[in-house]
Amino acid sequence: MPLRFPARAAALGLSALLTACGALPAKPTDAASSALADTADTPLARATAPLLKAHPRLTGLYPLERGRDALLTRLALAMVAQKTLDVQYYIWHDDLTGRLMMSKLLEAADRGVRVRLLLDDVGANADDELLLALSAHPNIEIRLFNPAANRNWRALSALLDLSRMNQRMHNKALIADHSAVIVGGRNIGDEYFEANEEVDFSDLDVLCIGPVVPQVARSFDLFWNHKLAVPVKLFYPERKLDGMLDALRIEYGKQLQADRASDYLRELEHQATAARVRAVQLPFYWGRARALYDEPDKADPEEDATLLAERLTPVAQKTRRELAIVSPYFVPGDGGTAWMTNLVKSGVEVKVLTNSLAATDVAAVHAGYARYREPLVEAGVKVFEWKPDPQPGQAQGLVRGAKRSGGSGFGSGAGFRGSSRASLHSKAFVFDRRHVFIGSLNLDPRSIELNTEIGVLFESELLGQRMAAQFDRLVPQDAYALRLEHSDLRWHDGADGQDYDADPKSSSWRRFTVWLMSLLPIESQL
């Protein structure tokens, strides 16, 4: 008898917790909004109008390879915007670059710009207090995509609703005044913009103007108005927001003042002052372009949605000569391995660049990838693994042809910290040196089946030729080439001619850990 009451109380408590963890707040009927397209009178639209007139029906694309350039371009768009900023990210860290970006959004809102910020709840893992304070601004609305229902027990809430919470919004996009957009692989955080002392992500974004911009805007609206995009305010209906924004301004001011003392921001400000270049002076590539993206229903296990991979398939099927794949998280599976094998048999040269074990930031993904290395190499696929410390030296950028220091050009640059560990984060596909896809899509089960993704498919022989040529010239120096010798896998370092018979520059313990993880049935989640 004494045990019954505690047991019943525990059962009732668990039942209540399960109920609380499972219910998302209902969005009001007037919550929908759409992109502001009437922006022809804005400075950004006026600056790009002559270029678009000279290239009718074509999209202008400018690659953002270096982290500092990518950050400066984002800051510039936020500073020049006059009517609207639509911002969508998987990760947004509250670090030096994250605070800098957020402060520019706040400044834009202060001058009357409508700011819509959509963050993935799990990826961003943002502080609700910070988001609530920003949401107190009349021109800022912040929504969390596919959020945990219980904000006090977020981890448990996610665990109890795993079928839904396992599917994430991996999209990255920033749209300014319906006139310019940045899409690509970068999230918002120091490691993406050469500001992290421990790791430097080699990444790639593109700045686009022209017809592809409203296409990305339509994608943003689909996500923004989806039932899983919940305004952060709705989780705290009784919360009084008076004074929160003022307190945040004071705190942000203190933090940014301290940040400005850093070498990174001093050098960044010097670069911004020295490079005040208008958009009309950027050397855009011009060509036909389409925004390809997953529909937000992909994140709802009860819905059926058209997938980005399906939209990219027709181009892949038409590849006849060469396919270059850059994917930091690369788990092709049996199907992908068979597809690439058949391409090689049909005469297509297939080249893949992914992370080495020493360079990857997700060992579990490497464990899923490792079992496919030998079959791919044996089939004739040229597989390269990015080094954790690519050789410094003067080299041409991946697609621009501008001199820079270090890296292969797949979004990497000189960086501020010579001791940083390099990790590949770019996602790009080049089909027959003519069609280029750059976005957030990895070639792994999570990107293809679970997370939502976005990117731009661009048709340009000039861009395709330059990217493919740079792959051939630089990747063999900055990545290990995999080979088979007497059925044993070998890693060849093209920079010094050295060969390795195990994953280079990785410890025996790390290799053992990856082998152990490879035994787990988790490939579908990678």
Element (H, E) at 61: strand 59-64
Calpha distance 83→226 (Å, rounded): 23
Calpha distance 445→334 (Å, rounded): 11
The count of other CB atoms within 10 Å of the CB of residue 272 is: 15
Structure confidence at residue 18 (pLDDT): 52
The count of other CB atoms within 10 Å of the CB of residue 72 is: 19
Structure confidence at residue 22 (pLDDT): 63
From residue 176, alpha-carbon distances to 38, 76, 78, 97, 479 in Å are 12, 10, 7, 19, 36
From residue 85, alpha-carbon distances to 45, 175, 227, 252, 455 in Å are 13, 6, 21, 20, 19
- Nearest Cα to Cα of residue 368 among 505, 517, 170, 508: 517
Which long-range CB contacts under 8 A does 70-73 form with residues at least 24 apart? 70/182, 70/184, 70/186, 70/192, 70/193, 70/203, 70/205, 71/97, 71/100, 71/101, 71/193, 71/268, 72/268, 72/271, 72/272, 72/275, 73/182, 73/205, 73/207
State yes or no: is 172 an active-site residue. Answer: yes
40-281 and 306-525: identical CATH topology: yes
- Nearest Cα to Cα of residue 212 among 469, 400, 460, 470: 460
| CA 252 to chain CA mean position, Å | 26
Cβ–Cβ < 8 Å for 150, 157: yes
State yes or no: is 177 an active-site residue. Answer: yes
State yes or no: is 427 an active-site residue. Answer: yes
188 secondary structure, DSSP code: B
Structure confidence at residue 416 (pLDDT): 30
- Nearest Cα to Cα of residue 109 among 89, 76, 72, 81: 81
- Nearest Cα to Cα of residue 286 among 185, 212, 216, 219: 212
Calpha distance 453→432 (Å, rounded): 23
Of the residues 93, 137, 172, 351, only one is catalytic, namely 172
Task: Number of helices (H) and strands (E) in the chain: give both, helices first.
Answer: 18, 22
Structural domain boundaries in the chain: 40-281, 306-525
Task: Sort strands 435-439 and 285-293 into parallel, antiparallel or unpaired.
Answer: unpaired
Beta bridge partners of 354: 385
Cβ–Cβ < 8 Å for 74, 229: no
Of the residues 69, 121, 128, 177, only one is catalytic, namely 177
Helices 67-80 and 263-274: angle between axes, nearest 10 degrees: 70
Give the three-state DSSP class for 417. coil
Helices 67-80 and 43-54: angle between axes, nearest 10 degrees: 110
Beta bridge partners of 184: 205
User: What is the Cβ-side half-sphere exposure of residue 89, based on CA atoms within 13 angstroms?
Assistant: 23
Calpha distance 211→57 (Å, rounded): 7
SS (H, E, C) 118-177: EEEHHHHCCCHHHHHHHHCCCCEEEEEECCCCCCCCHHHHHHHCHHHHCCCECCCEEEEC
State yes or no: is 93 an active-site residue. Answer: no
Of the residues 382, 425, 435, 492, only one is catalytic, namely 425
Question: CATH topology for 306-525?
Answer: Endonuclease; Chain A (3.30.870)
- Residue 519 contacts by C-beta under 8 Å, 6 or more apart in sequence? none
Of the residues 93, 298, 427, 435, only one is catalytic, namely 427
Of the residues 83, 104, 170, 366, only one is catalytic, namely 170
Structure confidence at residue 414 (pLDDT): 34
Domain covering 40-281: architecture: 2-Layer Sandwich (3.30)
Cβ–Cβ < 8 Å for 494, 481: yes
Q: Which residue has the tokens 């899923």?
A: 368
From residue 323, alpha-carbon distances to 61, 238, 429, 458 in Å are 21, 55, 7, 15
Q: Per-block average pLDDT, block size 10, for the chain (526 residues)? A: 52 52 82 94 94 97 94 93 97 94 96 98 94 96 96 88 92 98 97 91 96 98 97 93 93 86 81 55 93 93 84 94 97 96 97 96 95 97 94 44 38 39 94 98 95 98 96 93 94 93 94 93 90
Cβ–Cβ < 8 Å for 346, 492: no
Task: Sort strands 84-89 and 173-176 into parallel, antiparallel or unpaired.
Answer: antiparallel
452 secondary structure, DSSP code: B
